[in-house]
């Protein structure tokens, strides 16, 4: 069985500050890892994913996440956040079934 | 591409009434997923179809919930009778097989259901 734990339910941060959203997973099989973002009143959108290869993956809007197998983590980082990054962020994992298992979500609140 | 389309966007109904939520997946996507999102339980997978066939319905909470996919371009999630604890946002997501295997899904905007 697989599970995902997002360690922070809310992360307040000032604009242009760096941010890290933490995600740990547990699985007995090899996994694929994802970060999805949900803007207010919208559905989820894929932000970035790790399938294989380089453990550092990046999104087009400046986010990056690093797969750390030994620590079973997939933390999301951005060196400088914008007001528009305010959203809920979900870490998710899937094995070889295609079923996504989501964490509880972290609300990123970017303040001016 | 119009993306995944869900209707209605908002639904308010009284306890005991039947509720039908609708989803049109992205054309060419043959995997379809229904999720429920609540504050208490987060995002839960209810049921998963592949090529219009239900593959995994282990997340369907009880017999009051049913889902169908009569063709590749339409799916429904029905609750009968509805109860206040069914209040949630219901998402539909779709994916082509080759992306579904790797967990990449495209979500609709959701239907916010309120049962009074």
With beta carbons under 8 A apart, name residues in chain B contacting A51.
102
Residue B9 contacts A, CB cutoff 8 Å: no
Alpha-carbon distances of A4 from A31, A34, A70, A104, B9, rounded to whole Å:
11, 11, 15, 8, 29
- CA nearest neighbour of A81 among A31, A23, A11: A11
* Secondary structure of chain A in HEC code, one letter for each residue: CCEEEECCCEEEEECCCCEEECEEEECCCCCEEEEEEECCCCCEEEEEEECCCCCEEECCCCCEEEEECCCCEEEEEECCCCHHHCEEEEEEEECCCCCCEECCCEEEEEEC
Better-scored residue on pLDDT, A31 or A17: A17
Instruction: Work out the pLDDT band at B111, boundaries 50, 70, 90.
Output: very high
What is the structure's pLDDT at B61? Answer: 87
Tell me the pLDDT tens digit for each residue of A19-60.
999 999 988 777 889 999 999 888 999 999 998 888 899 998
**Cβ-nearest to A98 among B91, B101, B108:** B101
What is the structure's pLDDT at A66? Answer: 94
With beta carbons under 8 A apart, name residues in chain B contacting A43.
4, 91, 93, 107-110
Mutate to test the interface with B, among A41, A43, A46, A107 (most CBs of B within 10 A): A43
Question: Looking at CA atoms only, how far is residue A96 from chain B in angstroms?
Answer: 7
With beta carbons under 8 A apart, name residues in chain A contacting B34.
none
What is the structure's pLDDT at B12? Answer: 97
With beta carbons under 8 A apart, name residues in chain A contacting B110.
42-43
Residue A67 contacts B, CB cutoff 8 Å: no
Query: Do residue B4 and residue A105 have CB atoms under 8 angstroms apart?
Result: no
Tell me the pLDDT tens digit for each residue of B37-88.
998 888 999 999 999 999 999 999 889 999 999 999 999 999 999 999 999 9
Question: Looking at CA atoms only, how far is residue A99 from chain B in angstroms?
Answer: 7
């Amino acid at each position: 069985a697989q599970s995902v734990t997002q360690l922070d339910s809310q992360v307040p941060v000032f604009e242009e500050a760096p941010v890290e959203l933490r995600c740990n997973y547990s699985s007995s099989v090899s996994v694929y890892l994802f970060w999805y973002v949900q803007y207010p009143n919208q559905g989820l959108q894929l932000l970035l994913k790790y399938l294989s290869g380089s453990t550092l993956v990046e999104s087009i809007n400046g986010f990056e996440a690093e797969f750390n197998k030994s620590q079973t983590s997939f933390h999301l980082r951005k060196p400088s956040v914008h007001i528009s990054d305010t959203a809920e962020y979900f870490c998710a994992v899937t094995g070889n079934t295609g079923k996504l298992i989501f964490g509880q979500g972290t609300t990123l609140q970017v303040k001016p | 591409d119009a993306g995944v389309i869900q209707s209605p966007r908002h639904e308010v109904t009284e306890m005991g009434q039947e509720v039908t939520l609708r989803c049109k997946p992205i054309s060419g996507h043959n995997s379809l997923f229904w999720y429920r999102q609540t504050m208490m339980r987060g995002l839960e997978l209810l049921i998963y179809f592949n090529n219009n066939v239900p593959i995994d319905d282990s997340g369907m909470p009880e017999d009051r919930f049913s889902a169908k996919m009569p063709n590749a371009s339409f799916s429904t999630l029905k609750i009968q009778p509805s109860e206040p604890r069914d209040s949630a946002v219901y998402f539909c997501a779709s994916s082509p097989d080759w992306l579904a295997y790797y967990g990449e899904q495209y979500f609709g905007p959701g239907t916010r259901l309120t049962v009074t």
